[in-house]
Amino acid sequence: MEEVGKITAQDRYRTVEELIARSQPSFNYYLLLVISSLIVASGLLLNNSAIVIGGMIVTPLLTPVLSIALGVIVGRGFLLKRQGFFLLKSFLIVVATGMLLTFLFSEPTDPFIFENTVRAAILYFIVAIASGAGATFAFINKDISDILPGIAVAVSVVPPLSLIGLGLASGSFELAQFYFVVFALNTIGIILGGMVVLSSQKFYRAEKKVDEQIKEIKKEDKKKEDEKIAKEEKLINL
């Protein structure tokens, strides 16, 4: 009988490869991010939870956050720095989208009524840790990967980011401040939950695979940089 939760070295290598590959900037990533941000912000402005949930399912932010957990476990600063900068850009896009929609469609009297208490923040943090662990476990084990959309709903950092944008655009700075704390706790919780699972599944043994992926990323970055330089030189010579 197969031991529950037991994974092989091959599973680790596959997970590392997929996690890093799905955490790279691309047109599809940014397209899904903008779509998700528009849906979530619209749902919040309409006070429609069904719409918000739809946007949370679409968001591609989960894998970049989990790749941070992987970077911590294997101790690779390059991965942490690259993914950290990538996530920062992603977070700013979500906040900016929320601000834009609020400027365009929010009435001055629109009430943004949400529970902004310490109790709520702590509960968000607990949910984030549990969901981060669940998402990582589901990502590793392909036979239960179909539950990932459900986990994405529980763990999404898009709503608090959108609420930061809504708060800033509407002048509700207390709301923006509170949901910045919620967003920070959510992100830290997801990373911690992911680290617990990755560590328990001995992903620190997959260092060589991570290094291979980092080498490929650097190679691709250099190729893009060379192409950019070549285009600039061509324009200068025209």
Residue 94 lies in a domain: yes
The 3-state DSSP class for residue 115 equals coil
Average pLDDT for 29-47:
91
pLDDT per position as a tens digit, 182-226: 899 889 998 999 999 899 888 888 888 888 888 888 888 888 888
Confidence check: pLDDT of 233 > 90: no
> How many CB atoms are closer than 10 A to CB 220?
11
Q: Which residue has the higher pLDDT, 94 or 151?
A: 94
Domain membership flag for residue 167? yes
In a domain, 227, yes or no: no
For the chain, what is the domain count? Answer: 1
What average pLDDT does this structure show over 74-78? 88
Report the 10 Å Cβ neighbour count for 14. Answer: 16
Question: Is residue 164's pLDDT more than 90?
Answer: yes
Alpha helix segments (H runs only) across the chain: 9-21, 27-45, 49-58, 62-74, 77-105, 118-140, 148-155, 158-170, 173-200, 207-237
Does residue 222 form part of some domain?
A: no
Does residue 135 lie in a domain region?
A: yes
Main-chain phi, psi angles of 117, to 5 degrees: -125, 165
Identify whether 216 is part of a domain: no
- Residue 61 CA to residue 92 CA, distance in Å, equals 12
Looking at the predicted structure, is the pLDDT value of residue 131 above 70?
Answer: yes
Residue 174, pLDDT > 50, answer yes
pLDDT band at 154 (very low <50, low <70, confident <90, very high): low
- The DSSP secondary-structure symbol of 156 reads -
Question: Taking residues 90-101, what's their average pLDDT?
Answer: 94
Is 214 inside any structural domain?
no
Res. 118: pLDDT tops 80: no
- Compute the mean pLDDT over every residue in the chain, rounded to the nearest whole number: 83
Whole-prediction pTM value?
0.82
Domain-embedded: residue 175: yes
Which of the 8 DSSP states describes residue 142?
A: G
Name the residue range of residue 62's domain: 9-108+117-208
